[in-house]
Amino acid sequence: MTSEACATDASMRRVLRADLLDFTADPGFALPNEATGVRWRPDHLVLIEDGRIHAVQPAAQAVPPGWQHVIQEDHGGRLLMPGFIDTHVHCPQLDVIASFGTALLDWLNTYTFPAEKRYADPEVSRLGAQRFLSALWAHGTTSAVVFPTVHKVSAHALFEAAHAQGMRLITGKVLMDRHAPDGLRDDVAQAERDCIDLIDRWHDQGRQAFAVTVRFAPTSTPVQLAMAGLLCQTYPGTYMQTHVAENQDEVRWVAELFPDARSYLDVYDREGLLGPRAVLAHGIWLDTNDRAVLRERGAQIAHCPSSNLFLGSGLFDWVQAQREGVAVSLASDVGGGTSLSMLRNMQDAYKIQAMQGNRLTAWKALHAATLGAAQALGLAHEIGQIEPGHMADLTVWDWAHGPVAAHRDRLARDSHVTGHDALHERAFVWMTLGDERNLVETLIRGQTVFQSLLSSGFDPFSGPSISDPEPA
Ligand SMILES: [Zn+2]
């Protein structure tokens, strides 16, 4: 079938045939042969109607009455998964991804803040949002928790672009009223008005959700943090996103700025910012008390592997967080991170655990980027699984791209290990050698938003949103 035939009508029925992989529970850090919660359904059909998954059944079984006329889109031998959920990523930082030579605080001042200033321009924000969402889809990500900039218009542009496609998106104008250059600071009263305007306009509008977005403790005054906490209390359905304990210099700075706080995390907790809808990026330099607070509040850590390595921030101990009951999802943190690909971030996550003597299975990593994140965000009824009633946010993948991966995949496929262990070998090879080049197609709400050039000639990067130069 062609992209035109499927990309226009949400009420249209579609049937996809592939090997389905998703999760029914957290496999934890169990070894592959002991892991539970892995659901593998080879050669199945996914029936899609009105943007949702209508049914899942073996391909050999007859389709229900009324579905016989729907042409099956045959992805036989390919992998079909729920779309990935990136729980921490910065839209404007596509402009500074892969910037040389700095750690967090210098990186912000040298690269990020100058780039973010441009988003005061509505046209820059509009083009930036479109480019960013197209790029997420081209990497297999169908839901995201996103930082725009301090400018209200940058959040509005993201909401507008995501809403137009029916994409699940969580964002909100960044709060920062100190320790940032001219053009990137708000003030408490205006920031509060902007947030309330955005909540009124966008929160719970379709699949859009507002997040109270504190950049990080150093860039907000205590008065602004108190205002942010009040917003969380006043609008209980909203999310909260921020950064915490990413880098040791940052932790020391926060201790100087807030001498009466027990810890960095406590700066947020005492203002009422931590709850089940709080997403805190990094959390590398926390202590046991902090992890207990996160567990009690039901807040999650967005682990950002490629960013932590690229900026030299530190090694997040995922096993310890799991042992102490903290929910952990996976995130790209572009532009500190070096790729929007969740697979590439899983590769870095594996290495970060290996440096600490831990072993991250493909099951644990893939769960964290699908069902695990959906549950932590309170959205498991909608995303994260291939399940009737869920939104048809799906990705289709080739097992291998290029001769080395094809060779290795063939050996894994033909290996004599049995059961989930054999499947894990293949999945781990895919996770470790794969990236966005393995992606065949991305669906959001049952509509194709990305199709690989190789499979169709459909070019998501064509058109003005991607290629137009922007004003300096
Ligand atoms: Zn970040």
pLDDT tens, residue by residue, 255-293: 999 999 999 999 999 999 999 999 999 999 999 999 999
From the CA of 217, how far away is ligand 1's center (Å)? 13
In the reported structure, the alpha carbon of residue 321 is separated from the centroid of ligand 1 by a whole-number distance in angstroms of 19
Percent of the chain with pLDDT over 90: 90
Scanning 203-287, the segments in alpha helix (DSSP H) are 222-234, 248-257, 264-269
- In the reported structure, the alpha carbon of residue 274 is separated from the centroid of ligand 1 by a whole-number distance in angstroms of 17
- In this prediction, residue 421 carries a pLDDT of 83
Residue 464 — pLDDT band, cuts 50, 70, 90?
A: very low
Tell whether the model's pLDDT for residue 420 goes beyond 80.
no
Q: Find the 216 Cα to ligand 1 centroid distance in Å.
A: 9
Residue 250 has what pLDDT? 97
Least confident of 62-66, 90-94, 453-457, 468-472: 468-472
Please tell me the distance between residue 443's alpha carbon and the centre of ligand 1 in angstroms. Answer: 26
**What are the residues whose beta carbons fall under 8 Å from the beta carbon of 5, sequence distance 6 or more?**
none
Residues 6+ apart with CB under 8 A from 466: 130, 131, 134, 460
The model's pLDDT over 384-406, given as tens digits with 9 standing for 90+, comes to 999 999 999 999 999 999 999 99
- pLDDT score recorded for residue 340: 98
Mean pLDDT of 132-143: 98
Lowest model confidence (mean pLDDT) among 3-12, 67-76, 229-238: 3-12
> Cα(89) to centroid of ligand 1, in Å?
6
How many angstroms separate the alpha carbon of residue 328 from the centre of ligand 1?
15
Query: What integer pLDDT is reported at residue 286 of this predicted model?
Result: 98
Distance in Å, CA 10 to ligand 1 centroid:
33
How far apart are the CA of 265 and the centre of ligand 1, in A? 16
> Is residue 387 within 8 Å of 379, Cβ to Cβ?
no
Q: Does the pLDDT of residue 456 top 60, yes or no? A: no
Mean pLDDT computed over 364-388:
98
pLDDT attached to residue 249: 97
pLDDT (0 to 100) of residue 462: 45
Between the CA of 461 and the centroid of ligand 1 the distance, in Å, is 25
Instruction: Determine the distance separating the centroid of ligand 1 and the alpha carbon of 326, expressed in angstroms.
Output: 19
By the 8 A CB rule, do 161 and 129 touch? yes
Q: Is the pLDDT of residue 68 over 80?
A: yes
pLDDT at position 419, please?
Answer: 63
Residue 370 clears pLDDT 60, i.e. is over it: yes
CA of 331 to the centre of ligand 1 (A): 9
Q: Tens digits of per-residue pLDDT, 159-179?
A: 999 999 999 999 999 999 999
Ligand 1 center–CA 441 separation, angstroms: 27
**Phi/psi class of residue 297: alpha, beta or left (left: φ > 0; alpha: ψ in -120 to 50)?**
alpha
Structural tokens at position 4 = 């035109």
Average per-residue pLDDT in the chain?
A: 93
Indicate whether 446 pLDDT > 80: yes
Task: Specify which of 81-90, 98-107, 446-455 reaches the highest per-range mean pLDDT.
Answer: 81-90
Q: Where are the alpha helices (DSSP H) in 85-212?
A: 104-107, 113-117, 122-137, 152-165, 188-202
Burial class (CB in 10 A: 0-12, 13-18, 19+), 72: middle
Ligand 1 center to 90 CA (angstroms): 6
CA of 160 to the centre of ligand 1 (A): 22
pLDDT score of 5 more than 90: no
CA of 246 to the centre of ligand 1 (A): 9
> Which region among 102-116, 372-386, 437-451 has the lowest average model confidence (pLDDT)?
102-116
Distance between Cα 368 and ligand 1 center (Å): 18
Stretch (H or E) spanning 431: helix 419-433
Expressed in angstroms and rounded, the spacing between residue 284 Cα and the centre of ligand 1 is 13
- Could you tell me the distance, in angstroms and rounded to a whole number, from the CA of residue 280 to the centre of ligand 1? 9
Residue 11: what pLDDT? 58
Compute the distance from residue 190 Cα to the ligand 1 centre, in Å.
24
Read off the pLDDT band of 458 (50, 70, 90).
very low
Whole-number pLDDT of residue 7: 40
How many Å lie between the centroid of ligand 1 and the Cα of residue 27? Answer: 27
**What is the whole-number distance in angstroms between the Cα of residue 447 and the centre of ligand 1?**
29
CA of 281 to the centre of ligand 1 (A): 6
Q: 119: burial class by Cβ within 10 Å (0-12, 13-18, 19+)?
A: buried
Banded pLDDT at 10 (limits 50, 70, 90): very low
Ligand 1 centre from 69 Cα, in Å?
47
pLDDT value of residue 362: 98
pLDDT score at 238? 98
- 80 CA distance to ligand 1 middle (Å): 29
Residue 336 CA, ligand 1 centroid: distance in Å: 7
- If you average pLDDT over residues 212-224, what whole number do you get? 98
Model pLDDT, residue 415: 77
pLDDT of residue 380: 98
Å from CA of 93 to ligand 1 middle = 9
pLDDT tens-digit readout, 21-32 = 999 999 999 999
Which pTM value belongs to this model?
0.94
Whole-number Å distance, alpha carbon 255 to ligand 1 midpoint, is 20
Centroid of ligand 1 to alpha carbon of 295 (angstroms): 21
What's the CA gap between 10 and 81, in Å, rounded? 20
